[in-house]
């Protein structure tokens, strides 16, 4: 029984049409008329589904117009609902009224694909900057992506607040630290933040368009560079989507090694984040200690797998690095030391009252808001949402390892830090289990090439949260579209909510506790 399909059946009645293009049909998918597109959203809302992603695809090469897709999630279930818009009438009904994250998804569709969400409250460009020619829609097939675009005059209209004592603080794009660029516009009274508006898109490299120029094999390298800190999870997401299209069954050993890489990436990033969060609360001690532990892990990665971040080691059909008995030994020894030291540091974190003062009750994202923005990953789990693809859409070995997913409800900086603490411990446990029971055998098989006009979907739990990939093969079996949805695409909305009412000096701390990707968002 599927909750999602049951919910839309009464809305669609006889109109219900399964989309056979999604192969294999592990994720149900259906096509509806434009009129019904918003109605199905209403039905989804009524069963408390979340909107995982919304995107458009230029399907003119198939002799169709634009395909607009909305992907909903309810627990472990996903459902993709597609509608079509003819080329000469590129509009579709907006879902923003029902689902908040559609607000940015649709601005992005409008800016980059030139398809208009009718009824959307705010169609300022997103990722596209005001100095792009208005009719530059890079995701359209007719767009020549190889040429630089001329700059035109234009101005981005920020939301304004007025009144006595209200002032504005613009920050970025070049920030004070060693971090990615983005712009934040604060309206404040005294020290209190009245409103924060994010303005992202500075690191837009044209990644989604670039995919269309690459072979399926090369695609995994590009996916590994969507967000460098999540290179393992992104290449895994891409490969899994591709493998569902070709029906490739990845050798068991390769799947376990993929999980090993994924967990190592999670630990390394969480260690870095915990140090950085404490550092932003003026507790530099923790930054140095945590970055030392992180460095130990990266060196082991380099030694065993040939890359500090295990980049390019997950490839279509399997993995490109194996582990032997000595390697296992090395990891087990490393983890033993790591866990011992980590636990000592966590005690120090826990007992430090001046730190507690900064991290507790700061930057609260209440569970209702988290649900409203359809938050994912660490941010969701710190705000009461029990979401983890490793548990809900497990691939081996996660289907065999029972997983403790930490969920907190306070939604503050501390909760987001503490979810990480628990996850580091859990990942260490998982890695031990993987190494104990790693099956033997091949690590790579032929991935194959997808058939024309098929599509594939995957959802992988990276260290930030759920990463969604959707691939579509063109008429000549080339990549027609690669949709990437990094967790940051939704979680950035959470930061805007969480900082309200906080003081401006706490912003860096709140931001660190979210630590969302700019590159993964801007693409």
Partner 1 sequence: MIRILKQIFRTGIVTEPLPTEIDSEITEVGTKLEDAIRKRFRRSLTIRQVDSGSCNGCELEIHAINNPIYNCERFGIHFTASPRFADMLLVTGPVTRNMEIALRRTYNSTPSPKLVVAVGDCGCSGGIFGESYASLGSIDKVIPVDVFIAGCPPTPAALLHGILRAVGNK
Point out which residues bind partner 1 (CB under 8 A).
129, 136, 138, 143-149, 173-174, 176-181, 201-207, 209-210, 221-222, 225-229, 231, 272, 285, 288-289, 291-292, 294-295, 298, 302, 308-309, 311, 344-345, 347-348, 351, 517-519, 522
133 binds, among partner 1, ligand SF4, none (CB under 5 to 8 A by kind): none
Q: Which two tokens stand for residue 153?
A: 């005059």
- Using CB under 6 A, pick the residue from 173, 228, 394, 448 that binds ligand SF4: 228
Check residue 221 for interaction with ligand SF4 (CB under 6 A): no
Check residue 396 for interaction with ligand SF4 (CB under 6 A): no
- Rounded to a whole number of angstroms, the minimum distance from the CB of residue 315 to partner 1 is 15
> 461: number of CA atoms within 13 Å, CB side?
26
Q: Which two tokens stand for residue 395?
A: 């691939």
Q: Which two tokens stand for residue 414?
A: 């501390």
- Rounded to a whole number of angstroms, the minimum distance from the CB of residue 227 to ligand SF4 is 9
Tell me the DSSP string of 6-45. HHHHHHHGGG-EE-TTBSSTTS-EEE--HHHHHHHHHHHH
- Using CB under 6 A, pick the residue from 45, 225, 432, 433 that binds ligand SF4: 225
Q: Which residues contact 211 (CB under 8 A, 6 or more apart)?
A: 219, 222, 479, 481, 482
Residue with smaller CB distance to ligand SF4, 202 or 285: 202
Residue with smaller CB distance to partner 1, 76 or 156: 156
**Dist CA 467 CA 486 (whole Å):** 5
244 binds, among ligand SF4, partner 1, none (CB under 5 to 8 A by kind): none
**Dist CA 514 CA 460 (whole Å):** 19
Q: Which two tokens stand for residue 481?
A: 């579209």
- Rounded to a whole number of angstroms, the minimum distance from the CB of residue 523 to partner 1 is 9
Nearest residue to ligand SF4, using CB?
225
Tell me the DSSP string of 96-165. TTT-TTHHHHHHHHHHHH--EEET-S----SSS-TTS-TT--TTSTT--TTSPPPP-----------STT
**Dist CA 264 CA 21 (whole Å):** 35
- Rounded to a whole number of angstroms, the minimum distance from the CB of residue 222 to ligand SF4 is 9
**Dist CA 494 CA 412 (whole Å):** 12
- Rounded to a whole number of angstroms, the minimum distance from the CB of residue 135 to partner 1 is 13
**Dist CA 107 CA 120 (whole Å):** 8
**Dist CA 219 CA 479 (whole Å):** 9
129 binds, among ligand SF4, partner 1, none (CB under 5 to 8 A by kind): partner 1
- Rounded to a whole number of angstroms, the minimum distance from the CB of residue 228 to ligand SF4 is 4
Check residue 206 for interaction with ligand SF4 (CB under 6 A): no
- Rounded to a whole number of angstroms, the minimum distance from the CB of residue 519 to ligand SF4 is 8
Is residue 470 a contact partner of residue 241, using CB atoms and an 8 Å limit? yes
Residue with smaller CB distance to partner 1, 97 or 209: 209
309 binds, among partner 1, ligand SF4, none (CB under 5 to 8 A by kind): partner 1
158 binds, among partner 1, ligand SF4, none (CB under 5 to 8 A by kind): none
Report the site for ligand SF4 in 438-497 (rule: CB under 6 A): none
Q: Which two tokens stand for residue 319?
A: 């993995």
Residue among 77, 40, 71 nearest 57 (CA): 71
Contact set with ligand SF4 (CB under 6 A): 225, 228
């Amino acid at each position: 029984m599927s909750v999602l399909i049951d919910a839309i059946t009464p809305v669609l009645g006889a109109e219900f049409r399964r989309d056979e293009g999604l192969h294999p049909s592990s994720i149900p998918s259906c096509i509806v008329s434009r009129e019904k597109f918003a109605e199905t959203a209403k039905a989804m809302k009524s069963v408390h589904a979340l909107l995982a992603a919304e995107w458009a695809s230029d399907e003119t090469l198939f002799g169709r117009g634009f395909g607009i897709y909305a992907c909903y999630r309810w627990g472990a279930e996903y459902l993709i609902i597609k509608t079509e818009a003819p080329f000469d009438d590129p509009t579709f009904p907006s879902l923003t009224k029902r689902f908040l994250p559609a607000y940015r998804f649709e601005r992005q569709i409008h800016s980059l694909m030139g398809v208009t969400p009718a009824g959307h409250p705010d169609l300022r460009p997103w990722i596209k900057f005001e100095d792009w020619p208005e009719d530059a829609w890079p995701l359209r097939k007719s767009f020549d992506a190889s040429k630089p675009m001329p700059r035109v005059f234009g101005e981005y209209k920020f939301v304004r607040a007025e009144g006595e004592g209200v002032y504005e603080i613009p920050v970025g794009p070049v920030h004070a630290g060693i971090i990615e660029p983005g712009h934040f516009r604060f309206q404040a009274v005294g020290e209190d933040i009245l409103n924060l508006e994010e303005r992202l898109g500075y690191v837009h490299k044209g990644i989604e368009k670039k995919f269309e120029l690459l072979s399926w094999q090369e695609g995994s390298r590009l996916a590994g560079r969507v967000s460098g800190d999540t290179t393992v999870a992104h290449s895994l997401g891409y490969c899994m989507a591709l493998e569902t299209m070709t029906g490739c069954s990845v050798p068991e050993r390769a799947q376990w090694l993929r999980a090993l890489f994924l967990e190592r990436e999670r630990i390394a990033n969480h260690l870095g984040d915990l140090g950085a969060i404490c550092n932003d609360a003026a507790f530099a001690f923790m930054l140095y200690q945590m970055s030392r532990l992180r460095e130990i892990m990266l060196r082991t990665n380099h030694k065993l797998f040939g890359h500090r971040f295990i980049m390019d080691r997950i490839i279509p059909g399997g993995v490109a690095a194996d582990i032997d008995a000595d390697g296992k030994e090395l990891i087990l020894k490393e983890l033993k030391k790591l866990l011992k030291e980590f636990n000592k540091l966590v005690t120090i974190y826990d007992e430090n009252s001046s730190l507690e003062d900064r991290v507790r009750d700061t930057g609260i994202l209440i569970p209702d808001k988290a649900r409203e923005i359809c938050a994912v990953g660490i941010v969701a789990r710190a705000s009461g949402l029990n979401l983890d693809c490793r548990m809900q859409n497990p691939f081996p070995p996660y289907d065999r390892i029972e997983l403790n997913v930490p969920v907190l409800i306070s939604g503050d900086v501390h909760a987001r830090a503490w979810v990480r603490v628990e996850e580091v411990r859990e990942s260490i446990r998982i890695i031990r289990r993987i190494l104990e029971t790693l099956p033997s055998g091949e690590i790579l098989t032929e991935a194959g090439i997808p058939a024309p006009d098929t599509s594939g979907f995957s959802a992988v739990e990276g260290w930030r949260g759920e990463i969604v990939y959707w691939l579509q093969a063109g008429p000549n079996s080339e990549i027609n579209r690669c949709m990437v949805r990094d967790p940051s695409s939704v979680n950035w909305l959470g930061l805007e909510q969480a900082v309200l009412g906080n003081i401006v000096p706490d912003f860096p701390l709140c931001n660190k506790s979210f630590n969302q990707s700019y590159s993964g968002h801007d693409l």
